[in-house]
Amino acid sequence: MAGVSLKCGDCGVLLRSVEEAQEHAELTSHSNFAESTEAVLNLVCSSCGKPCRSKTESDLHTKRTGHTEFVDKTSEATKLISLEVPKVAAAEGEGEVGACMSQSEEMIVPEVDKKLLEELEAMGFPTARATRALHYSGNASLEAAINWVVEHENDADIDQMPMVPANTKVEAPKPSLTPEQVKGKQQELRERARKKKEEEEKRMEREREKERIRVGKELLEAKRIEEENERKRILALRKAEKEEEKRAREKIRQKLEEDKAERRRRLGLPPEEPSAPKPSAPVVEEKKSILPVRPATKVEQMRECLRSLKQNHKDDDVRVKKAFQTLLTYIGNVARNPDEEKFRKIRLTNPSFQERVGALKGGIEFLELCGFEKIEGGEFVFLPREKVDIAVLHSAGSELDSAIKNPFFGVL
């Protein structure tokens, strides 16, 4: 049987003509060629029209594109090889392979994406290799072409310009996404960006809220410290005034002693012995006042009770203030609702009452001044309805309000 191809004895590739063998020899330096009765396959992809020279190429094309339908046109393109046909020179500068076709079919260079081709050439790839990579990767993308070059860099014909039949219709590469899919993808990206923006705004709002709480706490603490410092300053001022008064009294006493000693010296009397007992002052019989002594009023008793409560607990100003506010609440409830028994009866063993009022000396006494009486063995204090005196309650409220607002109450 006559030969239908030339087989390279060095790499085993099948070539259709002497021209292809000469080009292969120039590119690879292989020189061992022989006629073969094995025809070069011509498997044309039904989807994109890409020709494959071997089963290996068709398998790789299927793996890359998913196209599985191929038309075997090997018998149509197979002709007896002619060893007399001269080589057709390639056009200089363009890299285009001249026509050396069979009488029945003309082969041409496939059309590829010019922009992608220029990018590959700018990256240093030869025109033939870039064209082959774009053609066999389906003109999909620059990345796909580079991946094809990496996978086929050891192919013997990697730098040969690919050829396809002139009458083969090469379909344009299909877009990876349909317009509906692109629109859906854009909508998805916009939705994702919106959600991300909302999450970021919520996070920033939480951070701002934390900052507001922190600043509020700092302001409250600063206010508390300022009030505490002011209270200490007032106490220190009072103490300094007392010390100054004490020193002034001591100076006056010393002056009187000096004047006394000077008078004794002028009268010729001996100096007074410091250790000599001083004569006791004559007992003056207290004259009984003929004016009647006015008893303390209810309001004065309440004021003195509150002053005593604050003096007994002067080291805990916050607790004393809380006790005054609690007493004011009890008195206010009774004054506004005198007929409600629940406001006129207080359990002394209640933990809240004990913590706020009961544990402080003077708290229960103040309630008793307002008319409350201990009942049931001292477990409750109760204000009978007939003993509710609105005037007394108003007076008690005024004294409590003054004790709360006046920072000097009970200090002196």
- Same domain, residue pair 307 and 369: yes
Q: What local confidence, expressed as pLDDT, does residue 84 receive? A: 59
- Same domain, residue pair 152 and 190: no
Q: Per the structure, how many domains does the chain have?
A: 3
Answer whether residue 227 is part of any domain. yes
Domain that residue 204 falls in: 177-267
- Same domain, residue pair 100 and 203: no
Domain stops at, among 116, 140, 165: 165
Answer whether residue 243 is part of any domain. yes
Nearest to 403 by CA among 372, 343, 363, 364: 363
| CA dihedral (72, 73, 75, 78) positive or negative | negative
Answer whether residue 238 is part of any domain. yes
DSSP assignments along 61-95, one per residue: HHHHH----EEE-HHHH-----SSPPPPPPPTTT-
Query: What's the angle, vertex CA 168, arms to CA 20 and CA 147, rounded to 5?
Result: 65
DSSP assignments along 240-302, one per residue: HHHHHHHHHHHHHHHHHHHHHHHHHHHTTPPPPPTTSPPPPPPPPPPPPPSSPPPPPPHHHHH
Answer whether residue 7 is part of any domain. no
Joined together, the tokens standing for residue 343 give 């406001």
Q: What local confidence, expressed as pLDDT, does residue 250 receive? A: 93
Answer whether residue 36 is part of any domain. no
Residue segments in the chain with a per-residue pLDDT below the cut of 50: 1, 85, 87-104, 170-176, 286, 289
Q: What local confidence, expressed as pLDDT, does residue 329 receive? A: 93
**CATH number of the domain enclosing 313:** 1.20.58.2190
Nearest to 356 by CA among 400, 318, 401, 326: 326
Answer whether residue 21 is part of any domain. no
Q: What local confidence, expressed as pLDDT, does residue 29 receive? A: 76
Residues composing the chain: 412
- Same domain, residue pair 187 and 160: no
Answer whether residue 260 is part of any domain. yes
**CATH number of the domain enclosing 117:** 1.10.8.10
- Same domain, residue pair 149 and 200: no
Q: What local confidence, expressed as pLDDT, does residue 198 receive? A: 92
Answer whether residue 388 is part of any domain. yes
Distance CA 77, CA 164 (A): 11
- Same domain, residue pair 194 and 157: no
Q: What local confidence, expressed as pLDDT, does residue 133 receive? A: 87
Domain stops at, among 130, 165, 200: 165
- Same domain, residue pair 332 and 387: yes
Q: What local confidence, expressed as pLDDT, does residue 167 receive? A: 64
Q: What local confidence, expressed as pLDDT, does residue 206 receive? A: 93
Q: What local confidence, expressed as pLDDT, does residue 83 receive? A: 65
